[in-house]
Amino acid sequence: MAAQLKHDDWGEMALFRWILSLSILAMWCALVGTALYVAMYEPAEELPEAQAIVLLGGNPAVDGALVGESAQRFVHAKSLYDEGSAPLLVITGGGTPPVAPDMASAATASGVPVDAMLIEDASKSTLQNALFTADFEALDKTQPIIVVTHRYHLPRAWASFRWAGFQSVHLSAADPDDPFPMDPRLLWEAVKWPLNVVRAAAASAAMAGDVPRENFLKYLE
């Protein structure tokens, strides 16, 4: 009996080590891949005529004013809108407090008509950004969209919107000329990438099994 228990313990340890090793490898690959993407990023010479510019919210506003990444992303998305890249601006970003309403207020103040915006303020992750954006009936998932966020976030954003069903996802960085961001944001991406893959796969399995979305939505936060 003792020998059997000892054998089971070794089996559990081996499984734990295998999972740990796989997790470390996945995070290392995500870190290296994201760093290479950021370092080699070059803006597209010409973006396609898209149905919408999708602006991903960042940090919350301060006293109603956009700051940090949210401000930088907004300025870039607004410039694309002014250039005529798309007739519609989709603003997505929740949080506490949600940043999307403040981005929408900034857009209105800068001349974007209310009927040229779609606003989603419940999402708490990139997967939810994509999933909730896909819920808008005004968007045709077969038509191009332009996703605006920071360089380190673009690859995961692209994968998330593809997972949500958008067939033509184009990317535009809010920080194309900034210095290489060797900071905690890259490290967080290394952690978030494997988690996103696992959560997206689990959510896809749940949807295929007709599990009500409200039963698994919180696991996508």
User: Using one digit for the tens of pLDDT, what is the confidence trace for 118-173?
Assistant: 999 999 999 999 999 999 999 999 999 999 999 999 999 999 999 999 999 999 99
Q: How confident is the model at residue 12 (pLDDT cuts 50, 70, 90)?
A: low
The sheet carrying 117-120 orders its strands as 117-120, 89-92, 52-56, 145-149, 169-173
Mean pLDDT taken over the chain: 91
User: Any idea what the CATH number is for the domain that residue 203 is in?
Assistant: 3.40.50.620
pLDDT digits (tens, 9 = 90+) for 93-128: 998 899 999 999 999 999 999 999 999 999 999 999
The parent domain of residue 45 ranges over 1-221
Q: Judge contact between 60 and 95, C-beta under 8 A.
A: yes
- Which has the closest alpha carbon to 167: 146, 141, 187? 141
The domain tally of the chain equals 1
Q: How confident is the model at residue 8 (pLDDT cuts 50, 70, 90)?
A: low
pLDDT above 60 (res 4): no
C-beta of residue 194 within 8 angstroms of C-beta of residue 99: no
- 50 or 4, higher pLDDT: 50
